[in-house]
Structure 1
Amino acid sequence: MSTATLDRTTAPAPTTARDASWPAQVAHVSWRWFVNLLRQPWGLGVAIVQPVIWIVLFGNVFSAVGDLPGFGGADYLTFLVPGIVMMTVLYSGAWAGTGFIDDIRSGVMDRLLSSPVHRSALVTGQLVQQLAVSLVQGVCVIGIGWLAGARYDGGLVGMAVALGVSLLLAAAFCSLSAAVALLARDQTALIGISTIIVLPATFVSTALMPPALLPSWVETAARYNPLTWATEAARTAMSTDVDWGLVGTRSLWLAVLAALVAWWSVHAMHAYQRSL
């Protein structure tokens, strides 16, 4: 037997998608989404500029709210920044499904589904990229808020907790957007459904106003709003007197919600494949 023949018979077979572990599959899918992001960096730029506008706009329009009785005595900008962080990842997550819509339209999704890659890896890979974008957005918002005059008495730990909570919120809404995209398969429908969800979620929450200054029915509804859970957890984590019980409880609620919606998004992927 020749050396060339021996080398061919003893060389290990190339690793296929079926042989790759689930984390490796997720990493490959995530890398694809990161490459797409690098090819269109303006998307990330817009996602960072938008919260800057919110900080300037809301910070100036509602600055007098800090002088009202019942506000709590904190500077309004300091109060506002955690809410802006959560609003930013909420809106970013709500449009995450547009990537799947593009894949469906271009035929890429059908090719991916013909491969042996786990369906959960296809969903999780895109989610990883979206969470990385949300993390960058959160860091930028906190930094810009500090430059604008907000102060975070909770220090680095408080900021880290706030960013962690924002990722839980982002995971829930990214997965929700992905599920809607896979079921609706239409850009207009996704935008309409996302708008119906995020606008009420924004204003029926404590992101912009403390509970004491909200109408009673809004205050009641806000208690069941994931945006309120995330904002309250981040706000207390970044304050002087941290209520870790509140932080833990709200974080647990968000984690459960994120897990349930992630399961739904994987189920939506299987439903899409069965419809082909």
Structure 2
Amino acid sequence: MSTTWITETSQVTRRWTTDGIRQPWGLGVAIIQPVIWLLLFGNVFSSVATVPGFGADDYMTFLVPGILMMTVLYSGAWAGTGFIDDITSGVMDRMLTSPVHRSSLVAGQLVQQLGLCFVQGLCVLGIGWLAGASYDGGILGMLVALGASLLLAAAFCSLSSAVALLARDQTALIGISTIIVLPATFLSTALMPASLVPSWVETVSQYNPLTWAVEIARTAMSPSVDWSVVATRSLWLTALAAVVAWWSVRAMRTYQRSL
């Protein structure tokens, strides 16, 4: 990794971060959304913890890892809208006439998105704690959960960016993202344990990246951490993020060749 690439990536990250600061409503919505989810799902489904076979005494403690991963999943799914705006305004075409590495254009935006997801994650954990969730895994457990959320976010941010660069249309991006994130949410163990969902949903959830990230967070913040689960799920998420990141760079180059 050359110094030039790092410098270019940092400059692109700075550009996206500055743009985000100039539009603080975006960060506000990104923080308020998980608060609503925690309060809404936490109260509506609180009695589920009393169902035999649930496997946990407190639904809020069970819910927080799921909301954490849902939050970064949805944020990641809309990451490509920034590229759509650049394409529409002509900024992307001007940037592609510069000698900057194409991977830096993708990586710089990804770093900014991961920073936003990290802030969201801290807010979810903080609000969950205030709402009564317990984190028996301590600081280490919370850090592991945040790390899993960033791996999940990296995969879906890159996926959204790739789709945006190939579709080049806001409506198409929103439609495709919705088709992906809604099934991913309800075909996972984010809101319900595997023991309480239909068998076919349980089978599908085992191949769902959202479930992998939730499993990491739940065991990491539990009294007895299963490090084999942390290691295997983290490996799967890392592999997925790497493959999709590679695809997003290819999509950037495909877009450039089409000019």
Question: What TM-score does the superposition give when structure 2 sets the normalisation length?
Answer: 0.99
Residue 181 (structure 1) aligned to one of 164, 177, 188:
164
Letter in structure 2 aligned against 1:89: V
Q: What is the match of residue 5 of structure 2?
A: 22
Larger Rg: 1
1:149 aligns with 2:132: yes
Asked if 1 retains the 8 angstrom alpha-carbon contact of 2:152 and 2:209, the reply is yes
1:74 deviates by 2.7
Residue 128 (structure 1) aligned to one of 111, 126, 149:
111
Residue 237 (structure 2) aligned to one of 254, 260, 263:
254
Aligned partners of 2:84 and 2:157: how far apart in 1? 14
Q: What is the match of residue 8 of structure 1?
A: none
Residue 101 (structure 2) aligned to one of 101, 118, 121:
118
Equivalence map 1:88-127=2 (5 Å): 88-127=71-110
The DSSP-based 3-state class of the residue aligned with 2:134 is coil
Aligned partners of 1:132 and 1:209: how far apart in 2? 28
Aligned partners of 2:226 and 2:54: how far apart in 1? 18
Flag structure 1 segments of 5+ consecutive residues without an equivalent: 1-18
Equivalence map 1:1-276=2 (5 Å): 21-276=4-259
1:73 deviates by 3.0
1:30 deviates by 0.3
Aligned partners of 1:89 and 1:74: how far apart in 2? 26
Asked if 1 retains the 8 angstrom alpha-carbon contact of 2:50 and 2:57, the reply is no
Q: Between the two proteins, what is the percent identity of the paired residues? A: 75
Cα-to-partner distance string for 1:232-257 (whole Å, 9 max, x where unaligned): 01110000010000011000000000
The DSSP-based 3-state class of the residue aligned with 1:55 is helix
Aligned partners of 1:192 and 1:227: how far apart in 2? 19
Flag structure 2 segments of 5+ consecutive residues without an equivalent: none
Cα-to-partner distance string for 1:140-181 (whole Å, 9 max, x where unaligned): 000000000001000000000000000000000000000000
Asked if 1 retains the 8 angstrom alpha-carbon contact of 2:56 and 2:62, the reply is no
Cα-to-partner distance string for 1:19-78 (whole Å, 9 max, x where unaligned): 961000000000000000000011010010000000011001110110001111331000
Letter in structure 2 aligned against 1:242: V
Aligned partners of 1:88 and 1:117: how far apart in 2? 32
Aligned partners of 1:72 and 1:96: how far apart in 2? 35
Aligned partners of 1:41 and 1:175: how far apart in 2? 23
Letter in structure 2 aligned against 1:223: Q
* RMSD of aligned alpha carbons: 0.8
1:191 deviates by 0.1
Give runs of ≥4 in structure 1 deviating > 6 Å. none
Aligned partners of 1:54 and 1:74: how far apart in 2? 20
Letter in structure 2 aligned against 1:143: G
